[in-house]
A and B are shown apart, each in its own frame.
Chain A
Amino acid sequence: MHPAISIKNISKHYGALQALDDVSLTIEPGEFFGLLGPNGAGKTTLISILAGLVTPNQGHAAIMGADVQKSFREARRMLGVVPQELVFDPFFTVRETLRFQSGYFGIRNNDAWIDEIMAYLDLTGKADSNMRSLSGGMKRRVLVAQALVHRPPVIILDEPTAGVDVELRQSLWQFISRLNQDGHTIVLTTHYLEEAEALCQRIAMLKQGKIVALDSTKNLLARYGSVKKDGEGKTDLEEVFVNIMSGGAL
């Protein structure tokens, strides 16, 4: 069976800026994987390469065995991406937006599934509302729904809870956990490290375009537990993150 995501020796530079430097990574099907790092570490560039939005200067990436450049149709059908920015098309309603997204993937007569996703994300009441009229939280839900209309086995969420309230954050995490339990591979970037700790089975930490830590969440916590502990003797991911980013790479 192919890995859900395979990244081999990927490098990307924008002029003099080295965004990614020889990054290699494999994510197995069904994993809940965290991609962490400070702003500018290269997380979004890596996601964009997987999504075909950015072309690497070197290396290869594949989704479920399909090369993202050479077999872009197969790779993109296997992948759902929730972008970081709250982007939307102001001309259309929620239902139209989801129908179009489904159609872009060549899937027609997908209304039953679209209704199901909207119900799951509490969007049914807003189905015929124009995207402009939605709150930020609702727009975020539509972004998640758009990533799911073609039922991709691999889902990448680029800071999906940035700037959303606690209630929505909780409900989104529940939904994403459910997706993972149903067999979807989830790749998540977030600055909410306590959530990454609770949800992710494995974590990679990026710093200045390089992977500086890659292990199971449990092992990362154990490995760095002796370095820095809180008052109750329990290490949290935030401490591990700060320690690794300050120079203690694996």
Chain B
Amino acid sequence: MKHGLIRPPLEYGSGFPTLLRKEVLRFYKVGFQTVAAPVLTAVLYLMIFGHVLEGREVYGRLSYTAFLIPGLVMMSVLQNAFANTSSSIIQSKVTGNLVFVLLAPLSHLEFYAAYILAAVFRGVVVGLGVFLITAWYGLPSIENPLWILIFAFLGAAILGSLGLIAGIWADKYDQLAAFQNFIIMPATMLSGVFYSIHSLPPAWQAVSHFNPFFYMIDGFRYGFFGVSDISPWNSLAIVTCFFIAVSVIALRLLQKGYKLRY
């Protein structure tokens, strides 16, 4: 080595772009598991439910398959956004390599933004994959792409935040699986992905209004068909409030170092 190891001070920027890139590369490197597999799962849902419920109409004019496609796309976006943050955090905690991020001069905001944007990116990539494959069954109309983008982003960011919270809270994979299987999965499946809530009995319709995932799916679907179970503005207001709430909780946990810094 020609020079000593101490050099003049370096110019430092933010660690956020690198953490974001690392989180994206993490799922990209195992793309079969993180992208291809969920796309296949969604296609299987479409094949089975589309076939069984063929001939039914929703909102009086849509074929069931056309109605189902946006729901499946959004469900894939949500589930994969959750999976990205939750699996990354729990794996890093269990293997111990989270220490490399914790040792770096990253603020809780930078940490949060990097993990959530990576989750949004994975959710959107999988959602796009589902959309492109299922389009083979009949491309749904796109009435208002802005609503689609807004609800996709907010939904993925919410589930990314929930994944972050679950990953931080869980001490072992079993606990994370419980969070995913007993909270996220039922809330997603009962959110109106497979049906319009108007087809439900009044009591279950009322219950559905307490499920925030319903508003994400309904608002997202509005972007395709220009018709939804409730006003997209109401859905946007509720989804935005939910996003703020989970973001505040996640940021607070990161700021306090809950189960990360002792």
* A76 in contact with B103 given A107-B10, A151-B5, A183-B4 (CB within 8 Å): yes
Q: How far, in angstroms, from A73 to B10 measured CA to CA in the complex? A: 14
Q: In residues 19-75 of chain A, which contact B (Cβ within 8 Å)?
A: 48, 51-55, 72-74
Of A101, A178, A182, which is within 8 A of B100 by CB? A101
For chain B, residues 65 to 100, give those with C-beta under 8 angstroms from any C-beta of chain A.
92, 95-97, 99-100
Tell me whether A169 is interfacial, beta carbon within 8 Å: no
B21 within 8 A of A: yes
Range class of the A interface residue count: 35 or more
Binds B, one of A3-11, A88-96, A188-196, A197-205: A88-96
In the assembled complex, B61 has its CB within 8 A of some CB on chain A: no
Task: Give B121-174 interface residues, CB cut-off 8 Å to A.
Answer: none
- Structural contact, B105 and A103, CB atoms closer than 8 A: no
Cα distance A184–B4 in the bound complex, in angstroms: 10
Q: State whether the Cβ of A209 lies closer than 8 Å to any Cβ in chain B.
A: no
Q: Is the CB of A148 within 8 A of B5?
A: yes
- Complex contact B261–A91 (CB within 8 A): no
Is B182 part of the binding interface, using a Cβ–Cβ cutoff of 8 Å? no
A14 to B262, CA, bound (A): 9
Please tell me if the beta carbons of A178 and B5 are within 8 angstroms of each other in the complex.
Answer: yes
**Pair B29/A55 contact, Cβ less than 8 Å:** no
- Complex CA gap A99/B18 in Å reads 9
In the assembled complex, B102 has its CB within 8 A of some CB on chain A = yes
Which residues of A approach B to under 8 Å, CB–CB? Answer: 14, 48, 51-55, 72-74, 76-77, 79, 81, 83, 85, 87-92, 96, 99-108, 113, 116, 119-120, 146, 148, 150-151, 153, 178-179, 182-184
Pairs of residues from A and B, 4 with the lowest C-beta to C-beta distance, nearest first: A103-B18, A104-B104, A87-B96, A73-B105
